[in-house]
Every structure is written in C-alpha cells, then in structure tokens.
Chains A and B, each alone.
Chain A
C-alpha cells in the first residue's frame, strides 16, 4: 500500500527555523516526484515546488523560491520542506504528495495527511 506519512504539527515563533518531513512507503521512492502544496486557513491549494527523486532535480514556484528549501534523503525514502526564518504568514497546512510525470500526463495520486504549521509570537 502506497503511503506518505508526514511529521507532526509544529508551533513556532517568527524567525525560527523548521524542517518538516514526508516518508514514502509501499512503492519505489526514486521512480516518482514529491510535490509540496500549501493550504492557508480557509483558502485554496498552492503548489510550492517538487523534487524528482531519480536525480534530485527541484522546481520551485516563484512565489516560494528563496523562502523554502525542498530536499530528500533517498536512502530513507523521505522528502523534506524547510524554512530558515519563519513568518506568521507561513501558518498553514502543508501537504506532500507523490507525482507521476511521464509521457502525456503528470498527476499527483497519493497525498500525505498534512502537517499543520503555526507561526505565532
């Protein structure tokens, strides 16, 4: 069974750093991409970026480039999303998801349960 299990909820102060994780199981981790998606309270889905686990190539949305870092540790089938200096506006639910891109399609078929990040002084 394909699963993506994310790390637990976090409460941080502005300016603090944070790394959240997403562990894949039940499939060949390096054959897919992992995407990260933000959902602010009561709002829609925002694509942040993705990483190709076969070669660690990373795409960032311009909206998030420079503010977050996407990485992965293939040996433990885990992807990461990290911030060096959080802002209150980073308060949101963050989802990781498996993306299957090839040929004439590219879609995200399995999602983690989400990690709620709260940034407050």
Chain B
C-alpha cells in the first residue's frame, strides 16, 4: 500500500494568514493526488484534484502543487469558513489511501 503522510497534523492560524499543508507519498504517484476539506459533522468536500486542478465552485484562494512524492495545499488568505480538517488522497493505485489529516484551527 502507498502511505500518505501529511504535515503538520494540526496548525493554528489567523484570518488572512497564508497556510500551507504538505502531503508526502511513500512512492511516486505522478499527479494522482486529491485534497479534501471536512468540517465537523459533514461529508468531505473535494477542493483540488490531479494535484493542482481546482474543483468547480472552490474559491481561488485554494491551490495545489506538486508531483511525484511531494505535494502542497495552500490557502492564500485564510477565511473563517476555512477552519476545518484537510485530507490528501492518492488515486494512483488501490487501496486509495488518505493522509491522516491536518486540522486547521483558529489562533
């Protein structure tokens, strides 16, 4: 199985801060990497697919980059509604493993 490791596991930030979350895979996955946002009690929501493509309807302050084994999700100016947990997922091979999640909290 491909292991996905996110860092940090949690972070505290203020509104309008720039936030960066990193995801590393245990082997190369090309750009088969997606990012999801999950708020408490809600289903996950797709933000970024294929490492850098913004899902329709997602604000442009979200961006993704990377290929191979190292990937990044960035939020250019954190908004109150962005406080949530973020997950990466590889879809290069099955099982389509998720990272352990990064919780973004209010400072």
Contacts and interface: CB of A to CB of B under 8 A. Distances in A.
Contacts of B85: 44
A114 B100 CA distance: 19
Summarize B's interface: helix, strand, loop or mixed: loop
Contacts of A55: none
Nearest to A106: B91
A95 interface: yes
A60 B32 CA distance: 19
Given A35-B96, A45-B87, A101-B91, A111 B44 contact: yes
B101 A44 contact: yes
Contacts of A35: 96
Interface residues of A, number: 26
Given A35-B96, A59-B94, A109 B46 contact: yes
Summarize A's interface: helix, strand, loop or mixed: strand
B91 A107 contact: yes
Most chain B beta-carbon neighbours within 10 Å: one of A44, A50, A97, A113: A44
Contacts of A61: 1, 94-95
Contacts of A63: 95
B49 A107 contact: yes
B65 interface: no
Given A44-B101, A62-B1, A104 B43 contact: no
Given A101-B91, A106-B32, A111 B96 contact: no
7 contacts: A44-B98, A44-B100, A45-B87, A47-B96, A47-B97, A59-B94, A105-B53
Interface of B: 1, 30-32, 34, 36, 38, 43-46, 49-50, 53, 55, 85, 87, 89, 91, 94-101
